[in-house]
Structure 1
Amino acid sequence: MATPVFLPPTSYEYVTVQKVHGSTATEASDVLAAEEPLEIRVGYGPENQRQHRTLSVTMRTPGHDFELTAGFLLTEGLIRGRDDLQGVIYCPDVKKEEERENVVRAELNPTSVPDLPRLERHFYTSSSCGVCGKTSIEAVHAASCPVLPTNGPAVAAAVVHQLPERQRAAQALFEQTGGLHAAALFSPAGELLLLREDVGRHNALDKVIGAALLAGQLPLHGAVLLVSGRASFELVQKAAVAGIPVLAAVGAPSSLAVSAAHNFGMTLCGFVRQNRFNIYSHSWRITQEPPAEPPA
C-alpha cells in the first residue's frame, strides 16, 4: 500500500495574480508551492560533553522535515544507519518567529563517532542544485556505499512505461501548485510504495530515503526509484547509498550520472515518457517479459 501523502498548510500558499488572456487581464487566486530555508543542526559526543553545530541550510518545501534531515545525514555520509541517530526535533530555542519549525536538530547516539572533518563543513544547498559533485564523490567513498545486488530485481519494460503516470496521479501537492518535484519508490511490479514532493529534486529524494531509514527499511535492494526531473550525479549517489538498484528519470541523465551508475552497479533509465525510455547502464535488470500483477 502506498504511504498517504500529508500536506501541511505550510507546504503551499494562496496568492492573488493577474491572468492575462490576449488583451484582457482578470484577477484570480493561484496556489504556489512554499519554499523556505531549513537549518539542520547536529548534536554529538558523550552525554556529558555534547557538542552542537549547524551543518546545513537547504531550501525546501516545508513538510517531512525529519525525514529530509535523516536522509541528508545518511546520503552525505554523516551516519551509517538508523542506529547512529538518536532522534530529530525542531529546535525549541530559536530566536526569531520565522525560524520556528525551520530549524531542526539531529541528535547522534553518544556511542556514534562522527566524521569531524565532514561536520566542520557548512553546506549551503539550493533547491535546484544540491551539493557540489566533487564533495559528493568523496562522501560516497567515505561512506562505504553499499554494493548493489547482482541478481535482481527484474523489472518489465512495460512497468517502467507506467511509472510516470502512477507517480503523477499520487502527487497531491503538484496537482495544486504545478511547481513540485517528486521522488517515488515502486515495487518491481509497479506498486507505489512511497512518494515525497519538494521544490528541490535532492530534497524530495532525501525525504524518501529518510522515511525508509526511520522505518528500518534500508537497504532498498528490491525497490525501483522514479524521479520527476533529470538524473544528476547527486541523485545517483543518494540512491546508491540507500541501496536502490534501479533509478528511472523522466528527464535526461548527465554524463557523470551515467558513469556513477556504471560504477555502482545501478540500472539507470532516462527520458521515461511517452511510452519510451533509454537504458544507460546495467540493462540486464530491464526485461521484455509481461509485468507481474501488483498485489491487491
Structure 2
Amino acid sequence: MTDTASTCALTQDTALPAPPPARRVERVQVRDGAVSTGERAVPEEVPVALTFNGTTHAVMMASPTDIADFALGFALTEGIVASPAEILSREVIVVDEGIEARMWIAEEKMKHLSARRRALAGPTGCGLCGVESLAEAVKPAALVTADTHFSPATLLDAMAALGPLQSLNHETRAVHAAAYFEPGRGILALAEDVGRHNALDKLVGKAAEAGFDAARGLLLLTSRVSIEMVQKAAVLGVGVIAAVSAPTSLAIRTADAAGITLCAIVRQDGFEIFTHPGRIALPSPERQNHVA
C-alpha cells in the first residue's frame, strides 16, 4: 500500500473536544472475600458515523482516537475507494451524540456506493452487520503476493514488542491492538480500539497515510482471526498475519486462498502456522530432529 493522501484535505472541527480514550469510574471491588471501593480506568466507546458525500454509510461503536485514520482505513477495506487519493476531502466532527467522519468522493464512486445500499448500525467492532447477501459476507480476499520471509525469532520478537506499546490497554485492560512491523525497523504503526475490526481499520489508514509497502512486514493482532480480519489484512497487503489468539476455520480457508501466511496462538515459546508456511524460515528436518 504505497498511495498517499497528499491530495486529501483533512480538517477537524474544534467546536467540541474529542472524548478522552479512557475514563475513571467508581466501582466496588470484591477480592478474596474482602470488599473495597475505589476507581478503575475503563475505555470510552462512542458512536462514529462514517459519511460519504453527506450520506451516512455506517455507524460503528469505537474508541474516540485516530478517527481520521479509521475513516480512511474503513473506506479502503470496504472497497469504497482503492487508494487514499480517491478521497477528495475528510473532516472529523465531534458532536453531542458522538463523532462524524465526513468524507467526499467522486460522484461516480458515490453512485456505486449508493447502489450497494449498505447502512450499518453495529455493536462494538462489528465487521459484517448490514451486508446484503451471504456471498458478500464471504467474498474472497484480495490475492497477496508478498515474498518476504521471516525467521521464527523475528515473529516472536515482533509480538513481544507490541505489548509495551499498548498504552490504552495498559490503562484499561480492555482494548484490542493491531500493529505493522518491519524487520530492522520495529513497529512502525499501531492502533488500539474497543473493536478488533476498528483497530485494524485504523492501522490500515495509518499505513496508507505513511505510504508503507506492507509486503515488507508483519501484521500483529491481539485478537482472534476471523474472515473479515483476513479480508482487511489482504487490503493492507501483508503476507504474514501473527495473532495471539486462534483463527476460525473460515479465516484459515480465506487466508489460504488469498496467499496469506496465517500464524496464530503466538506465545513466548512459539506459534502455530495454518497456511502458506513458506514465508517462515523454519529449521530443516535434520535440525529439528537434532534439537528434539
Deviation at 1:20, TM superposition (A): 1.7
Distance in 1 between the 2:57 and 2:109 partners?
17
Counterpart of 1:49 in structure 2 is none
Question: Cα offset for 1:274?
Answer: 3.1
Does structure 1 retain, via aligned residues, the 8 Å contact 2:174–2:194? yes
Asked if 1:38 corresponds to 2:32, the answer is: no
- In structure 2, runs of 5+ residues without a counterpart are 1-17, 284-292
Assess, with a 3 A threshold, how the Cα gap between structure 1 residues 256 and 76 changes in structure 2: closer, same or farther. same
1:137 match = 138
Query: Which structure 2 residues correspond to residues 113-192 of structure 1 after superposition, within 5 A?
Result: 115-117=112-114, 119-131=116-128, 134-138=135-139, 145=142, 147-149=143-145, 152-189=147-184, 191-192=186-187
Deviation digits for residues 62-99 of structure 1, max 9, x if unmatched?
A: 1100110111111011001112111211247x5xx233
The match for 2:6 is none
Using the TM superposition, give the Cα deviation of residue 113 of structure 1 relative to its aligned residue in structure 2, in angstroms. 5.6
Provide the residue aligned with 1:244 in structure 2: 238
Corresponding residue for 2:214?
Answer: 220
**Runs of 4+ off more than 6 Å:** none
Q: Within the alignment, does 1:86 sit opposite 2:64 as a pair? A: no
Equivalent position amino acid for 1:104 in 2 = A
5+ residue gaps in structure 1? 1-7, 44-51, 290-296
Residues 182-239 of structure 1, C-alpha deviation per residue, up to 9 Å, x if partnerless? 001101457111111000000000000011122333x521120010011111000001
SS of the aligned residue for 2:237 comes to: coil
Contact 1:154-1:188 within 8 A present in 2 as well: no
1:61 maps to amino acid: S
Give the partner amino acid of 2:179: A
What TM-score do you get using the length of structure 2 for normalisation? 0.83
Select the residue among 5, 24, 44 that pairs with 2:34. Answer: 24
Alignment RMSD (CA, Å): 2.1
State TM-score, norm by structure 1. 0.82
User: How high is the sequence identity, in percent, across the aligned residues?
Assistant: 32
For residues 268 and 114 of structure 1, do their structure 2 counterparts lie closer, same or farther at Cα, with a shift above 3 Å needed?
farther
**1:18, 1:25 within 8 Å by CA — same for their partners in 2?**
yes
Equivalent residues of 2:27, 2:38 under 8 A apart = yes
- Taking the aligned partners of 1:164 and 1:41, their CA distance within structure 2 comes to 35
| Structure 2 Cα separation of the partners of residues 118 and 76 of structure 1 | 14
Other-structure match for 1:205: 200
Distance change in 2, residues 1:266/1:190 (3 Å): farther
Write the letter of the residue equivalent to 1:250: V
Query: Alignment partner of 2:161: what SS?
Result: helix
Taking the aligned partners of 2:135 and 2:66, their CA distance within structure 1 comes to: 28
Cα distance change on mapping 1:214 and 1:137 into 2, 3 Å? farther
Bigger Cα displacement from structure 2, 251-260 vs 121-130: 121-130
1:244-263 residue pairs with structure 2 within 5 A?
A: 244-263=238-257
- Would the aligned equivalents of 1:39 and 1:56 in 2 still touch at CA under 8 Å? yes
The answer to whether the 8 Å contact 2:62/2:125 transfers is no
